[in-house]
A = this chain, B = another copy of it.
Amino acid sequence: MKNPPKTDKLVSMQQAIATYVGDDCSVAIEGFTGFISFAAGHEILRQRRRNLTLIRMTPDLIYDQMIAAGAASKLVFSYMGNPGVGSLYCIRRAVEKSIPRPLDLEEYSHYGLVGRYAAGASRLPFFALRSYVGSDMLAANPLIKVIDDPYGTGKIAVVPPLNPDVAILHAQRADRQGNTHLWGLLGMQKEVAFASRHVIVAVEEVVDEAVIRADPNRTMIPGLIVDAVVHEPYGAHPSYVQGYYDRDNESYLAWDKLSQDPTAVEAWLDEWVYGLANRAAYVKKLGQTYFDKLKPEPLLAPSVDYGRYR
């Protein structure tokens, strides 16, 4: 494999999706509860991608919306719920009633899917974990196997590597090479980024390389594996970005009601996705004061001294 050249990778979300997300791709828009690139998901819908395999531990509202729009034929996941709220009704309609189209499910536990990313990220043929033994999940997903420990201590479950065509991750800040600082819930972002053939990073702030190099332990994704950097403020709304804005829980509660009615979902997609040119238009439509209400008070980490050694 060839490492992407070290060039300025800053592009628009439109360009990034047009370049790296085609029909029939496997796409992982990741981030646990926060850092979810709704901006990328909506752009994928605007570009009318079809037959996607959507991969995400917790499908959340973004995949509920994409599946309602008919963009996906398969979902790989480990927990299918509206976090802290309830069901994902659009996905349930697809699974229970094939509306708007049938949806294949490939299902894991959280650790199992994390493990698939981890194996894919380090070019290992499998990831071993103490799970699944005794559960019907083994029968439900033949990719999960149980093997004998070569050292004779007993049985252990394994899952195979997962290498999505493209991972799309939102973070606080990155430089133009894609060297990315992330803090708060680290989730599975590092693993899915290294596991994927292409990586799109969307950030609240594009910073100078010097900012990244001033705290190298904070760099979760190196530009080496990043193909595109998108400057997308509020791109994770209605999910949150630690230190930048809170989860917009009203939107999650509203979706819980709205999503139970397919016509309402279509109207919502027309107004908030197809009816808008890009994320900037979405932010403008909601208005800055709306986002100001979601801004937490500052809580700064104490600085650390790396020392100059010369």
Cβ-defined contact, B300 with A303, below 8 A: yes
A151 to chain B, nearest CB (A): 5
- A18 in the interface (beta carbon within 8 A): no
Bound form: Cα–Cα A303–B126 in Å: 38
Oligomeric state, in number of copies? Answer: 2
Residues of B within 8 A of A145 (CB): 150-151
A179 to chain B, nearest CB (A): 14
- With contacts A126-B151, A130-B124, A151-B126 taken as known, whether A304 is within 8 angstroms of B243 at the C-beta atoms is yes
> For residues 235 through 288 of chain A, which have their beta carbon under 8 Å from a beta carbon of chain B?
242-244, 246
Contact bitstring A197-226, B, C-beta under 8 A = 1, else 0: 000000000000001001101100000000
The listed residue with most B CB atoms (<10 A of its CB), out of A123, A153, A217, A297, is A217
Residues of B within 8 A of A189 (CB): none
Q: Which residue of B lies closest to A220 (CB)?
A: B217
A-side interface mostly = loop
- A305 in the interface (beta carbon within 8 A): yes
Cβ-defined contact, B147 with A126, below 8 A: no
Cβ-defined contact, A307 with B296, below 8 A: yes
- A59 in the interface (beta carbon within 8 A): no
Size bin of chain A's contact surface? 35 or more
Residues of B within 8 A of A134 (CB): none
A189 to chain B, nearest CB (A): 12
- With contacts A126-B149, A130-B123 taken as known, whether A306 is within 8 angstroms of B302 at the C-beta atoms is no
Residues of B within 8 A of A183 (CB): 217, 304, 306
Contact of A218 among B147, B172, B301 (CB under 8 A): B301
- A293 in the interface (beta carbon within 8 A): no
Residues of A within 8 A of B (CB): 123-126, 128-130, 145, 147, 149-151, 153-154, 156, 158, 160, 172, 181, 183-184, 186, 211, 214-215, 217-218, 242-244, 246, 296-309
